[in-house]
Amino acid sequence: MNRPRPVTVPEMMSRKGGEPLVVVTAADFTMAKLMDGTGSVDALLVGDSLGTVVQGRPTTLAVTLDQMIYHTEMVVRGTQRALVVADLPFGTYHESPELAIRSASRLLKETGCTAIKLEGGHHFAKTIAALVASGIPVMGHVGLMPQSVHAMGGYKVQRDEHKVIDDAVAVAEAGAFSVVLECLPVDLGRKVTEKVKIPTIGIGAGPHCDGQVLVGHDLLGLYDGHRPKFVRAYDDLKERVRDAVKRYSADVRSRAFPSPEESFH
Ligand code: KIV
């Protein structure tokens, strides 16, 4: 069977203003293989949101670079077509552009992913430019930045137009190939999308972005924690999991499982 042609960074960039980009997060081989196998996803993001939906932590702050490498490597192994982007976790790029290059190089070399994402606007333009100059494709992330949850006073809609636009423009001018816009009013999502020359990928930033991203566990209705307003769950897998495990338990207790067909004779 022919391998599907992988989505490239220039291809993602060429979708500015065109058919919306489809991005979803994944954190392991099985999920990546299922999602990528649909042939409908442009990019798989190994987001540090895995700190909450996989590790059960209250924030993303404790996720380490080694953990991101562990998860990204599995996702890459399950992916043939989608562009795989991995988050640089908190504290692995803040100190200096040199540290950012070291951390991002580890992600690319040890996992085979194609690009990294980092949270931050104007203040991180130098870092983004240094990464891009080193041949590392960067996806930016402005608006609500979950790694700055304490500084931002919680997970809130970001309404400071001047700051958000300034951040997105700085990220684009520094050479990022796309930028995530998180938790913006619809009108601000539109304004940023019109202003920057790279594709914007929205999460809670309205319908005018050049693409959308959802956390895979939210999209599938698998995560049982807080569900933000911007999430649309396309299934309720947590209920299906509970139901399957209850039926298995009942079958074991009644000795209906295993059947003769499921046994060696
Ligand atoms: O960590 C993550 O999953 C993300 C997306 C929500 C954009 O950054």
Q: What is the pLDDT of residues 53-107, one digit of tens each?
A: 999 999 999 999 999 999 999 999 999 999 999 999 999 999 999 999 999 999 9
Report how far ligand 1's centroid is from the alpha carbon of 215 (Å): 7
CA 83, CA 23: separation in Å to the nearest integer? 9
Helix and strand totals (H; E) in the chain: 11, 8
| Ligand 1 atom, smallest distance to 213 CA | 7
> What confidence tier does 3 reach under pLDDT thresholds 50, 70, 90?
confident
The answer to whether the beta carbons of residues 73 and 32 sit under 8 Å apart is: no
Mean pLDDT along residues 242-258: 98
Report how far ligand 1's centroid is from the alpha carbon of 250 (Å): 38
Domains and CATH numbers, the chain: 9-234 (3.20.20.60), 237-265 (no CATH)
Ligand 1 probe mutation, 42, 215, 231, most atoms within 8 A of CB: 215
The answer to whether the beta carbons of residues 168 and 179 sit under 8 Å apart is: yes
> Which helix (H) or strand (E) segment is 25 a member of?
strand 21-25
Report how far ligand 1's centroid is from the alpha carbon of 140 (Å): 11
The pTM for the full model equals: 0.97
**Ligand 1, CB cutoff 6 Å, lining residues:** 25, 45, 47-49, 87, 141, 180, 203, 213, 215
**pLDDT tens-digit series, residues 144-199:** 999 999 999 999 999 999 999 999 999 999 999 999 999 999 999 999 999 999 99
CA 182, CA 213: separation in Å to the nearest integer? 10
